[in-house]
Copies of this chain bind each other. A is one copy, B any other.
Amino acid sequence: MPLIATPQTMHFPDALPLQSGAVIRDYQLAFETYGRLDAVRSNAVLVCHALNASHHVAGVYAGQDRSEGWWDNMIGPGKPVDTERFFVICVNNLGSCFGSTGPMHRHPDTGAVYGADFPVVTVEDWVDAQARLLDRLGIGQLAAVLGGSLGGMQALSWTLQYPERVRHAVVVASAPNLTAENIAFNEVARRAIVTDPDFHGGHFYRHGVIPKRGLRIARMIGHITYLSDDVMNEKFGRQLRAGLALKYSTQDVEFQIESYLRYQGDKFSDYFDANTYLLITRALDYFDPARAHDGSLARALARASARFLLVSFSTDWRFAPRRSREIVRALLDNCRSVSYAEIDAPHGHDAFLLDDARYMGVMRSYFDGIAKELP
């Protein structure tokens, strides 16, 4: 009997002040919950999503067998984050294109579609919006906040913005900020979108077009950085498409890897919003809790009082293990409780979404421990 997910939305009339100085009001957030909140409201786990995911983190939609949530291997009845014990919440972030208010929606004052005028949102803004949603659900303190990649940045930020509201933070395949190389890849992807003639300065909706060329390139770049060199060689290597002889063409597909990337790019450009892509990559670029502390991550993390689990993957070159170790070290400098697992997995950054017995074991064990603390 699969877990049935039911998407919900919540409307927020009041203005949310954003880091940029702008405000957003009359917005809505899409979210899903799984399991039951216990009588003393102590078993809530907030899951934060990464770049291209949504609030649909677990279960399937009724009557749609193949609609599993993006972390359904991790979250559900009897799974590492056990929805028989925890009340799990996942919120689609502001600016996304999966149900929460985003660039394709209308500004409440002008009635015009936001487009490129949607305010720039940051990790901190998302956390503030999530906190207001939790307020409305009557959840004061989280048993845990959990996220991978950009989701891990939100989990980390929760412990700094609302330290008293987080008992545990589980930060997977993440980093305390982006490196220059990370920003560089984001920038190339953004330039591909922004310079697509169908982008129209971000107001492509009113022209009835979509900057698909740019989105395809952005996704292809992203995909390369999610995978490890090893797993690419193992999955595709230098295999020719369908094992045929060389065509000697600069524009046709010759190698399997080309075919795979083009397919991923095409698929993505059919469902993802270009302005959302810009907003979310920018939120990644901006995240840097140490910035306000002269670059000292240790001082930045002094505010955190949660207990932490950090997980990284050996072949993840986008958010390499050394980046997780920086967080571990800064927490230890503050004498915080922190567990750290560095998983030897071949799949690169993607590993955080995949089944790996050791990874799943670490997560299960940590959440078992959290469950034991529940009243």
- Give residues in A with beta carbon < 8 Å to B: 19-22, 116, 119-120, 177-181, 183-185, 187-188, 190-192, 194-197, 202, 213, 216-217, 220-221, 223-224, 227, 229, 232-233, 235-238, 246, 248-251, 254-255, 257-258, 261-262, 265, 275, 278-279, 281-282, 285-286, 288, 291
A232-B180, A238-B183 known; A188-B220 Cβ under 8 A: yes
Complex Cα distance, B224 from A224, in Å, reads: 13
- The answer to whether A261 touches B190 (Cβ under 8 A) is no
Q: What residues of B have a CB within 8 angstroms of the CB of A181 in the complex? A: 224, 227, 229, 232-233
- The answer to whether B185 touches A224 (Cβ under 8 A) is yes
Q: What residues of B have a CB within 8 angstroms of the CB of A20 in the complex? A: 246, 248
- The answer to whether B217 touches A262 (Cβ under 8 A) is no
Complex Cα distance, B232 from A285, in Å, reads: 15
Complex Cα distance, B251 from A361, in Å, reads: 42
Partner of A224, one of B184, B233, B249: B184
14 contacts between A and B (CB under 8 A): A179-B232, A183-B238, A183-B255, A187-B257, A187-B258, A187-B262, A190-B251, A195-B216, A195-B217, A221-B221, A238-B288, A248-B286, A250-B275, A254-B285
Complex Cα distance, B286 from A238, in Å, reads: 9
**Most B Cβ at <10 Å: residue of A119, A188, A221:** A188
- The answer to whether B288 touches A120 (Cβ under 8 A) is no
Partner of A184, one of B21, B192, B217, B232: B232
- Known contacts A22-B248, A192-B192, A246-B286; 5 further A-B pairs (Cβ under 8 A): A177-B238, A181-B233, A183-B258, A184-B223, A197-B197
Q: Name the distance in Å between A243's Cβ and chain B's nearest Cβ.
A: 13
Complex Cα distance, B184 from A262, in Å, reads: 10
Q: How many copies does the complex hold?
A: 2
Q: What residues of B have a CB within 8 angstroms of the CB of A249 in the complex? A: 120, 282
Q: What residues of B have a CB within 8 angstroms of the CB of A258 in the complex? A: 183-184, 187
Which 8 A-B residue pairs are closest in the complex by CB-CB distance?
A20-B248, A250-B278, A180-B232, A120-B248, A180-B236, A195-B213, A188-B220, A187-B258
Complex Cα distance, B178 from A261, in Å, reads: 16
Partner of A217, one of B178, B192, B251, B275: B192
- The answer to whether A179 touches B216 (Cβ under 8 A) is no
Q: Closest residue of chain B to A201, judged by CB?
A: B251
- The answer to whether A184 touches B250 (Cβ under 8 A) is no
Complex Cα distance, B178 from A233, in Å, reads: 10
**Most B Cβ at <10 Å: residue of A183, A184, A233:** A184
Complex Cα distance, B185 from A202, in Å, reads: 26
Q: Name the distance in Å between A245's Cβ and chain B's nearest Cβ.
A: 11
Complex Cα distance, B17 from A75, in Å, reads: 60
Partner of A188, one of B196, B202, B224: B224
Q: What residues of B have a CB within 8 angstroms of the CB of A236 in the complex? A: 180
Q: Name the distance in Å between A295's Cβ and chain B's nearest Cβ.
A: 9
- The answer to whether B237 touches A180 (Cβ under 8 A) is yes
Q: Closest residue of chain B to A120, judged by CB?
A: B248
Complex Cα distance, B281 from A232, in Å, reads: 19
Q: Closest residue of chain B to A18, judged by CB?
A: B248
Complex Cα distance, B177 from A117, in Å, reads: 46
Partner of A191, one of B185, B216, B291: B216
